[in-house]
Structure formats: structure tokens, C-alpha cells
């Protein structure tokens, strides 16, 4: 039986909530600019230089992870142009 995945909007909502509630305080300011891969089901995460690296690290531990990415200290993982760093709350 094929595993159902939540809609992308739900993945983003859960990923953002986990980042703000559990992950952000553990990665800022030490890992500014690095990419965090967060499993939206368990809240476990991995830090890497880029999305692929972070995902590989997380998937080694959690092969079934449903991953949401964030670049520490920035609004988005990837960018076109420059919007500047995210303001701290």
C-alpha cells in the first residue's frame, strides 16, 4: 500500500511550527546560513551545508522522514535576488 503524504501546505505549516517551537533555539546563532532538514512527524532534524547534505544526514537516521527545509537565519532555503536575513524575534 502506498503511503500518503500530507499536502505541501501542511508540510510547510508543520515544519515552520517545529522550527519555531523546538529547533530555532538550538541552531541560532551558531549555524546561520546552514540548512536544517526537519522531519515533520518526529521533529528530529539534521544540519548540513545544503539541502541534499542535510537530507542525507537525516535520512540515514530516519529513512521514512517527511522533510521540510529551512536555512538558518534566512527567509527561504533558496533565493532569487536578495531579500536580506530574517529578523530575530
82, three cell numbers: 536578495
Q: How many DSSP H helices and E strands does the chain contain?
A: 3, 3
What's the chain's Rg over C-alpha atoms?
A: 13
Per-residue pLDDT reduced to its tens digit, 26-75? 999 999 999 999 999 999 999 999 999 999 999 999 999 999 999 998 87
Task: Yes or no: say if 38 and 68 are a contact pair by the CB < 8 Å rule.
Answer: yes
- Give the pTM: 0.81
Q: Is 45 exposed, middle or buried (0-12, 13-18, 19+ CB in 10 A)?
A: buried
2, three cell numbers: 502506498
Per-residue pLDDT reduced to its tens digit, 66-77? 999 999 988 777
Distance, in Å, from the CA atom of 20 to the CA atom of 43, rounded to the nearest integer, reads 11
Sequence spans of domains, the chain: 8-71
Amino acid at each position: 500500500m502506498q503511503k500518503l503524504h500530507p499536502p505541501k501546505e501542511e508540510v510547510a505549516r508543520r515544519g515552520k511550527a517545529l522550527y519555531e517551537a523546538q529547533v530555532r533555539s538550538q541552531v541560532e546563532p551558531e549555524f546561520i546560513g546552514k540548512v536544517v532538514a526537519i522531519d515533520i512527524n518526529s521533529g528530529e532534524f539534521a544540519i548540513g551545508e545544503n539541502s541534499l547534505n542535510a537530507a542525507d544526514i537525516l535520512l540515514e537516521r530516519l529513512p521514512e522522514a517527511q522533510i521540510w527545509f529551512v536555512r538558518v537565519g534566512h527567509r527561504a532555503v533558496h533565493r532569487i535576488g536578495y531579500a536580506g536575513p530574517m529578523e530575530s524575534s
